[in-house]
Amino acid sequence: MNMKSVIELRHLRYFLRVADEMHFGRAAERLGIAQAPLSQQIRQLEERLGARLFDRTTRSVRLTPAGEAFREHARAALGSVEDGVIAAQNAVGRNVGRLVIGTVFLGAYSLLPETIRRFLRRYPDVSIDIRILTTDEQIRAMADKSIHLGFVRPPHNPVGLRLAKLASEGFVAVLERSHPLAAKPKLTLADLRDQPFLAFSSIVGVNYQNVMLQYCRRAGFEPRIVQEVSHTLAIVTLVAAGVGIGVIPAWVTQMPHSGVVYRPLPELPMVVDLTVAWPADSLSPFILDFVAIARDVAAQRPA
């Protein structure tokens, strides 16, 4: 065979990354190589195919009709190779892999345990590692390949990722156990009118904060914020210390605290989403099957 006509796996990986990013600079960064050798490999692939795959200008990159046709075959070819590796390793009884999963607290306490249970029935030899990380930390970890997928809050800029919504939750009020309002089984926002509020900082909780402010204003008052903090559990700790009250995502009720009580706030919307995210270029059957199982588990959970 003429070596000048051989298409190698790296050509396919590089092509798919550029096709997903539609930007040579971002694709090179995600691949961990310089832009010049990436461009050289794409030109080499085009020469070996005898077809131009991208229309490139100084401002944009687009797939040509040939590029569109080649993309699905390239993806299928890489997937077939990965399936073959797994089959070969299974045949000789080797441990077939390791899956590193990032998650925010909600994922760890809700969908993740059952998802892992079902996944391991299918892939009993895969080892799984769990890392509790913020959404931003998980996005960075997926970019540098230190985790394979993540259970995240919907990111504002999901470049290079695919996302699937799994669940939504509402909010609860968190009160010091001796607080007069703790005697009520559920609360309205109007009940909280004169209370000192602990709130999320604008960096980490802007969506939560906006919802709380919007609905308090609808209830006829501006919340009196006495302190802003960086994490849901920090609000719980400060409430237990008597600093104020909080309005926080309902997942926290799965983590009882002796110094506080949680009370439903049914007038607030179910807008705190949990999403599974994974690299857009991933062809790993482990990752794609794990995502599919997570979606099945989420669909079967009671509302």
Task: Between 90 and 255, name the one with better pLDDT.
Answer: 255
Q: What's the CA gap between 291 and 107, in Å, rounded?
A: 13
Q: What percent of the chain has pLDDT above 90?
A: 43
Read out DSSP for 66-88? HHHHHHHHHHHHHHHHHHHHHHH
Q: 171-269: same fold as 95-168+273-300?
A: yes
Fold of 3-88: Arc Repressor Mutant, subunit A (1.10.10)
Query: What's the pLDDT band for 287 if we cut at 50, 70, 90?
Result: confident
What is 85-151 written as a DSSP string?
Answer: HHHHHHHTT---EEEEEEE-HHHHHTHHHHHHHHHHHH-TTEEEEEEE--HHHHHHHHHTTS-SEEE
As a whole number, mean pLDDT of residues 173-179 equals 96
284 pLDDT above the threshold of 80: no
**pLDDT of 3 higher than 60:** no
Joined together, the tokens standing for residue 262 give 């949680």
If you average pLDDT over residues 243-262, what whole number do you get? Answer: 91
Q: Which residue has the tokens 């096709």?
A: 19
| Average pLDDT score, the chain | 85
pLDDT at 168 over 50: yes
Report the distance separating Cα 143 and Cα 30, nearest Å.
7
143-163, pLDDT tens digit by residue?
888 899 999 988 877 778 889
Cα distances from 275 to residues 132, 150, 194, 242, 270, in angstroms, run: 15, 8, 35, 33, 14
* CATH fold group of domain 95-168+273-300: D-Maltodextrin-Binding Protein; domain 2 (3.40.190)
- The position carrying tokens 């909780």 is 205
* pLDDT greater at residue 239 or residue 23: 239
Domain spans, the chain: 3-88, 95-168+273-300, 171-269
Q: Is the pLDDT of residue 252 over 70?
A: yes
Nearest residue to 163 via CA among 69, 267, 275: 275
Lowest average pLDDT, out of 152-166, 177-191, 246-260, goes to: 152-166
Q: Which whole number is the average pLDDT over 262-274?
A: 90
**Cross-strand pairs, 196:** 224
pLDDT at site 177: 95
CA distance 148 to 168: 23
82 confidence band (pLDDT: 50, 70, 90): low
What is the C-alpha to C-alpha distance for residues 190 and 177, in angstroms, rounded to an integer? 20
Rounded Cα distance between 64 and 84, Å, is: 30
Query: How far apart are the C-alpha atoms of 149 and 142, rounded to whole Å?
Result: 7
> What's the Cα-to-Cα distance from 150 to each of 52, 91, 164, 192, rounded to whole Å?
36, 30, 11, 35
More confident residue, 246 or 251: 246
2.130.10.10, 3.40.190.10, 3.40.120.10, 3.40.980.10: CATH of 171-269: 3.40.190.10
pLDDT tops 90 at residue 301 = no
Per-residue model confidence (pLDDT) at position 202: 61
User: Which residue(s) pair with 151 in the sheet?
Assistant: 103, 276
- What is the average per-residue pLDDT within 80-107? 71
Residue 183 has pLDDT above 90, yes or no: yes
Which segment of 18-27, 71-80, 90-99, 212-221 scores lowest on mean pLDDT?
Answer: 90-99
Label residue 1 by pLDDT band (50, 70, 90).
Answer: very low
Buried b (16+ CB within 10 A) or exposed e, 10-34: ebbbbbbbbbbbebbebbbbbbeee
**Residue 206, pLDDT above cutoff 60:** no
At 272 the pLDDT is 83
Residue 7 pLDDT > 80, yes or no? yes
Task: Provide the β-strand partners of residue 277.
Answer: 150, 163
